[in-house]
Amino acid sequence: MVLQSSLKNCLQLSCIFRTPKAGFRSTTTGGLIIQSISNDVYQNLAVEDWIHDHMNLENRPVLFLWRNSPAVVIGRHQNPWQLMRQKNIKLARRRSGGGTVYHDLGNINLTFFTTRKKYERMENLKLVVKALKGLRPQLDVHVTDRYDILLDRQYKISGTAAKLGGTAAYHHCTLLCNADKFVLSSVLTSPYRGLKSNATPSVPASVKNLFEEDPSLTCEMLLDAIAEEYAAQHQIDHHISLINPADETVLPGINNKTKELQTWEWVYGKTPKFSISTCFNLVYQDSVLDVKVDMDVKHGRIEVCNIDLPEQWLPPALCSELVKSLTGSKFCPNETTALTTTLPRVCPQDSELHSRWNLLCENMTMLM
């Protein structure tokens, strides 16, 4: 198999992608297989958006191959606060629906682009299964009615999601080769109690890496086998074109798409409305107090907030000050932390109340 790496071939690829839509319709036909040279989840999701928005897929279906450094990718209508967040693991929201997926370099991602009329996710998954069996005939893999791929009739090795546009569509799926299952399990666990949401839930499943079934398998082997099967079915050359997701000369406007996918407004602000009803203990000096909090959050911002705690511990005016400050703000620890530096105007000289105020704010921050 050939990977484009020379300057001449890079220029050839550039010509392909810089051709306007009309050019695709009139001068090029047949499928295209491309692979990202980036492991950045935001860049790779941006490539999906770019192909969906700019390429004419009428006579040129596209298979996009990509891998990411550790990242949690949620569906378009999911709630990120229902997930356990960890340092060094990026959080991204994709344009398609479906549930949450953990990505790392032991996991490969496949995106099948077609026109909406030719969209057929079952055929795509059958292609993947055929490629796997061609590579290792002994593998017991099959596609379910839920559009998952199971290994040994019980372990999920691939999940699936899709976006259907007006004329274009794509179906993407994962394939577990040698992913970190411990991290996968931990990040998909919700740390929140008392959170109620109509967001799309993620359904836990028993998973297994293909590497566990056959340690000789690698991500590169899987990518190559799937690309070869795709090429055979579309009667095109078995050739993967490498693409740089940050190259504006190849993908005009791509960096703006990447930046948008990283914004708080997209990752958190697109969350469906949810509510939190919870309690926590405040430990102050020799006393322990129960605090009850109820909040409604819409578009990632606190719409309604109620805090119930003993009046003798914090004057109602101060509690009201905190509620007023929280209402309309982002449901975000950074914004709430800033409140701890805002000394209440009603008692500028009372250090005791300032300590209690800061302690309450710190505990509110921990809810987020």
Structural domain ending residue among the three candidates 235, 268, 301: 268
The reply to whether 197 and 128 lie within a common domain is: yes
SS (H, E, C) the chain: CEECCCHHHHHHHHHHHHCCHHHHHHHCCCCEEEEECCCCHHHHHHHHHHHHHHCCCCCCCEEEEECCCCEEEECCCCCHHHCCCCCCCEEEECCCCCCCEEECCCEEEEEEEEECCCCCHHHHHHHHHHHHHHHCCCCCEEECCCCCEEECCCEEEECEEEEECCCEEEEEEEEECCCCHHHHHHHCCCCCCCEEECCCCCCCCCECCHHHHCCCCCHHHHHHHHHHHHHHHHCCCCEEEEECCCCCCCCCCHHHHHHHHHCHHHHCCCCCCEEEEEEEEEEECCEEEEEEEEEEEECCEEEEEEEECCCCCCCHHHHHHHHHHHCCCECCHHHHHHHCCCCCCCCCCCHHHHHHHHHHHHHHHHCC
Identify the pLDDT of residue 6. 34
Q: What's the rounded Cα separation, in Å, for the pair 188 and 203?
A: 10
The reply to whether 205 and 278 lie within a common domain is: no
The reply to whether 188 and 317 lie within a common domain is: no
8 Å CB contact between 259 and 52: no
Tell me the residue range of the domain where 285 lies: 274-367
Please list, in sequence order, all residues whose beta carbon lies within 8 angstroms of the beta carbon of residue 238, skipping any fewer than 6 positions away.
1, 227, 228, 231, 232
Identify the pLDDT of residue 216. 96
Question: Residues in the chain with pLDDT < 50?
Answer: 1-27
The reply to whether 102 and 64 lie within a common domain is: yes
Instruction: Let me know if residue 17 belongs to a domain.
Output: no
Identify the pLDDT of residue 347. 62
Structure token pair of residue 277? 């009803």
The reply to whether 234 and 362 lie within a common domain is: no
Instruction: Let me know if residue 57 belongs to a domain.
Output: yes
Structure token pair of residue 367? 């809810």
φ and ψ at residue 63, rounded to 5 degrees: -110, 120
Q: What's the rounded Cα separation, in Å, for the pair 111 and 160?
A: 10
The reply to whether 49 and 191 lie within a common domain is: yes
Instruction: Let me know if residue 23 belongs to a domain.
Output: no
The reply to whether 222 and 282 lie within a common domain is: no
Structural domain ending residue among the three candidates 236, 252, 268: 268
Instruction: Let me know if residue 8 belongs to a domain.
Output: no
Instruction: Let me know if residue 27 belongs to a domain.
Output: no
Q: How far is CA 364 from the centre of its chain?
A: 26
Instruction: Let me know if residue 356 belongs to a domain.
Output: yes
The reply to whether 65 and 202 lie within a common domain is: yes
Angle separating helix axes 219-234 and 121-135, nearest 10 degrees: 120
Give the CATH number, domain containing residue 213: 3.30.930.10
Identify the pLDDT of residue 345. 62
Instruction: Let me know if residue 12 belongs to a domain.
Output: no
The reply to whether 259 and 116 lie within a common domain is: yes
The reply to whether 286 and 348 lie within a common domain is: yes
The reply to whether 155 and 68 lie within a common domain is: yes
Give the CATH number, domain containing residue 303: 3.30.390.50
The reply to whether 200 and 314 lie within a common domain is: no
Identify the pLDDT of residue 27. 37
Structural domain total, the chain? 2
Instruction: Let me know if residue 110 belongs to a domain.
Output: yes
Structural domain ending residue among the three candidates 268, 289, 320: 268
Task: Spell out the long-range contacts of 264-268 with Cβ–Cβ below 8 A and sequence spacing 24 or more.
Answer: 264/300, 264/330, 264/332, 265/300, 266/93, 267/80, 267/91, 267/92, 267/93, 268/80, 268/300, 268/330, 268/331, 268/332
Please list, in sequence order, all residues whose beta carbon lies within 8 angstroms of the beta carbon of residue 3, skipping any fewer than 6 positions away.
35, 240, 242
